[in-house]
Structure 1
Amino acid sequence: MDTAPERRALADRLTTSGVLRPDSPWRPALGAVPRELFLHPGVFLPVDGGRWQPVTALGTPPEEWAQIAYRDESLATQLDGRLTADEATETVTGVPTSSSTTPTTVVGMLEQLDVADGHSVLEIGTGTGYSTALMCHRLGEDNVTTVEVDSQVAARADAALEEAGYSTWTVTGDGLLGHPARAPYDRVIATCAVRRIPYTWVRQTKPGGIILATVGSWPYGTGLAKVTVNDDGSAEGRIIARSSFMHARAQALVPLAGDLSARTAYPDTERPAKFPPALLDEWMPAFLAQLTAPGAQLVRATAGDGTQNLYLFDAERESFAAFTEDTSGGTVRQGGPVALWDAVEETLTAWRDAGSPDIASVRLHITEQAHTYWIGDRQSLRWEHRII
């Protein structure tokens, strides 16, 4: 089936929504690259109860497959690091570990990358290879290097790229290390989230080059960072938007083991919470909490009586905060050498006093030794994460 009409319609929708500029050089790429090729052997569609329905390209009528392929939504292509749609015959449970990201996000990031003819790009996280193909069409296949940590995912992407006519540099490896063999690059783009931008990416980017990546340690409340590399080897920029991606495999959160109520049974302190923990359901407060307690996990759990409990754990620093909500706002119990919620509340208070600015107000500076984030001047709302 010729999907050229669907490709043109996708480009039109993205132009109408303001994601794609009317005269964008990415428009020809959208018209040329068939997204359906990059969804083989199939996808998992969400159904009720947290389950997934496998849908394969071979087992679906072409018109229906095209409708799925050109939806403006993310499509899970792998569950639990191994399962693909052709290996499942009925609905299944599982955690998505690879996907084809929504075209709005893909194209929006490519527009923000500010590429020019002749630029070389390092892509971290090949995934299905669709965004790789768009860059190959725009820049030429020899100017695109893409790194994927999962060998099976990389093999499928490489096969799809070849079928689409692009023999680019597809590398299987840890994207957090970049790919020094083809450095330096004009641009680096990550299609996975990272806790912080690895300095290896900065080192492998030319002065004046741009790095675009989603930063943060939780599944949400993360921000799209756009930084420019300086002549002195540092990089500086800002958070330009909210953004959510699967984390790099090496940085994916591991569920906390053991009975959480037992692990928090003996707190050092207990007091009323100045801010309700539900505030962390909001994007900017969640992002600020991650800056303040970068090693902590936010965990929601249901007790035997149906009570919803919320915990903030930092396993490395052996510290926790546990919350109990009530009519007055809630109580926080804390234990360990670091009072996690005290630090988060201090940040949230300063943020509120500054007028509750949005995530796009955050700036950052990267060196080999540290990442520094701030809002306003560098002396007010400021966080420094030492690396060495």
Structure 2
Amino acid sequence: MTDPASERRRMAAALVRRGDLKSHWLRAAVESVPREQFLRPGVFLDEGRSWRPLTVAGTDPDEWLKIAYSVDTLTTQLDGHLTADRTGAPVVGVPTSSSTDPATVVGMIEALDLAAGHRVLEIGTGTGYSTALMCHYLGEDNVTTIEVDAQVAARADAALETVGFSTWTVTGDGLLGHPYRAPYDRVIATCAVRRIPYAWIRQTKPGGIVLGTVGSWPWGTGLAKLAVSDDGTAEGAIVGRSSFMQARAQAVAPVAGDLSARTAFADSERVALVSPLVLKEWMPAFLAQLAAPGAQFVRATRSDGSPSRYLFDPERESFAEFIADGGSWTVRQGGPVALWDDIERSLVTWHGAGVPDVDAIRLRVTMTSHLYWIDRNPALRWEHRLVRPGAGSLPRRLRPGDAWLPS
């Protein structure tokens, strides 16, 4: 029979070889905390178009440990309620809770620069595995974790108790933080947010760190690491690519219905200077979200079988429709904001700057705004002010001939 301790050591060694696991204290935590305890009652394995449930009770113990100590993200809940013990056959659904792959877990914890005695607020408990790793080093009284889903929180709390950590597990909206145990030295979010909530900044000590994934698309998101200042602002950088489930309070329902009806009346039509297909790439997708926050990218097929792509911004009642036309794309835009003009301008400027990656972007957060920029590129600057949609002046529209970016 497979020894769980040897599996933990094997996984830790693999994470060290990959360069994800660097701290001696964190390696000791990985080698000590039993990840399999945080996967109960079971997981769903991705089979492409469906999810196959596996439970602890119904799986060979050796196979279960092999799954538990793989370096994969393991889905533990679908559609906000379904767990593996509640179905006996493959099902279709949307993942809503998971045990994130260990490389990402330890990489984020390493980025926190933890020291003994630090007090940490974790947004998004999930299974509780990352909570346990931090408790192993900091002690259970120094870690507060908050989870919006009561059932998920209860399972995580039970698992934490099982492995010996009676930490502060709170059910609530993590976007509001947890002021009752503030201030914290570190705040870490294991969900993606459209913007860093100011509550996290306010509840962090000056000199403390806030770490969270920003962006609202499933891809093209970045890990923001911010240092909090005495004046209540926070500044830092996007330190790398990162992908997490969206915070439930900010999750956006997919655009549905008759897309042709939604885009029937356009204010302008022109040849796109940049192909919308670049939005499949990580950095262009991140820039698109900076230039048009709130926009959703939608892929579809027209009745004649030709591909089409859309951008919708429901809050600002604007759209862009892309129609394939031989080797180029025609863009039709409607509403008060020319979405593609804004995005295209950023992409053209970014290309001219030498296509820097996402870790070149810096970020400053105040009570009223998020400011993103790339150093030495004054045109690559995006400010998102917390005002009602439509307030203020709108940027001018990009005209054909202004600039060009190969696609």
TM-score range, shorter chain: over 0.9
Cα offset for 1:267? 1.0
Counterparts of residues 80-229 of structure 1 (less than 5 Å): 80-229=79-228
Which digits, 9 at most, give the CA deviation of each residue in 1:180-232, with x for residues without a partner? 00000000000000011100000000000001100011111000000000011
Matches within 5 A, 1:286-297: 286-297=285-296
- Which has the higher mean CA deviation after the structures are superposed, 1-10 or 150-159? 1-10
* 1:42-97, Cα deviation, whole Å (9 max, x unpaired): 0000113x100000011001100000001101010000001000001101000000
Matched residue SS, 1:275 = coil
Q: Structure 2 matches for 1:1-388, cutoff 5 A?
A: 2-21=3-22, 23-48=23-48, 50-377=49-376, 379-388=378-387
State the alpha-carbon separation in 2 of the partners of residues 297 and 336 from structure 1.
15
Task: Name which of structure 1's ranges 242-251 and 295-304 shifts more when overlaid on structure 2.
Answer: 295-304
| CA distances 1:8-36 after superposition (whole Å, capped 9, x unpaired) | 00110000111111x53101100110000
How many angstroms does 1:2 deviate by? 4.0
Residue 30 of structure 2 aligns to which amino acid in structure 1? Answer: L
Aligned CA-pair RMSD = 1.1
Distance, in Å, in 1 between the alignment partners of 2:309 and 2:59 is 42
Counterpart CA distance in 2 for 1:87 and 1:304 is 39
* Contact 2:53 2:90 survives alignment (8 Å): yes
| Other structure's SS at 1:25 match | helix
- Residue 158 of structure 1 aligns to a residue whose secondary structure is helix
SS in 2 for 1:240: strand
Contact 2:222 2:238 in 1 (8 A): yes
Distance in 2 (CA, whole Å) between partners of 1:92 and 1:320 is 34
Closer, same or farther: CA 341–169 of 1 in aligned 2, 3 Å:
same
Maintained 8 Å contact 2:353/2:377: no
Following the alignment from structure 1 to structure 2, what is the Cα–Cα distance between the partners of residues 299 and 279? Answer: 13
Residues 232-276 of structure 1: CA deviation (Å, up to 9, x unaligned): 110000000000000000111212232111111221111100000
- Specify every segment of 5 or more residues in structure 2 that has no aligned partner in the other structure, as ranges: 388-407
SS at the partner of 2:325?
A: coil
Q: TM-score, normalised by structure 1?
A: 0.98
Larger CA deviation: 320-329 vs 36-45: 320-329
- With the length of structure 2 as denominator, give the TM-score of the two structures: 0.93
Give aligned-pair identity as a percent.
67
Q: Which amino acid aligns with 1:235?
A: A
For the structure 1 residues 278 and 344, does the alpha-carbon distance in structure 2 shift closer, same or farther, using more than 3 Å as the test?
Answer: same
Question: Which amino acid letter does the alignment assign opposite residue 353 of structure 1?
Answer: G
Tell me whether 286-295 or 300-309 shows the greater mean CA deviation. 300-309
* 3-state SS, counterpart of residue 24 of structure 2: coil
Structure 2 counterpart of 1:9, which letter? Answer: R
Q: Quote how far apart the aligned CAs of 1:104 are.
A: 0.4
Total equivalences in the alignment: 386
Relative to structure 1, is the Cα distance of residues 201 and 306 closer, same or farther in structure 2, using a 3 angstrom cutoff? same
2:335 alignment partner AA: G
Q: How far, CA to CA, are the matches of 1:299 and 1:378 in structure 2? A: 30
**SS across alignment from 1:309:** strand
One-letter code aligned to 1:103: P
Cα distance in 2 between the residues matched to 1:76 and 1:261: 35
Shift of 1:379: 3.0
Q: CA deviation at 1:326?
A: 2.7
Amino acid corresponding to residue 27 of structure 1 in structure 2:
R
Aligned-partner Cα distance in 2 for 1:233–1:362? 21
Which residue number corresponds to residue 401 of structure 2?
Answer: none
Superimposed CA distance per residue, residues 293-325 of structure 1 (whole angstroms, 9 cap, x where no aligned partner)? 001111112334433321000111110000012
The one-letter amino acid of 2:19's match is: G
Partner Cα separation in structure 1 for residue 10 and residue 251 of structure 2:
35
Aligned equivalents of 1:247 and 1:80: distance in 2?
A: 13
Deviates more, 1:179-188 or 1:345-354: 345-354
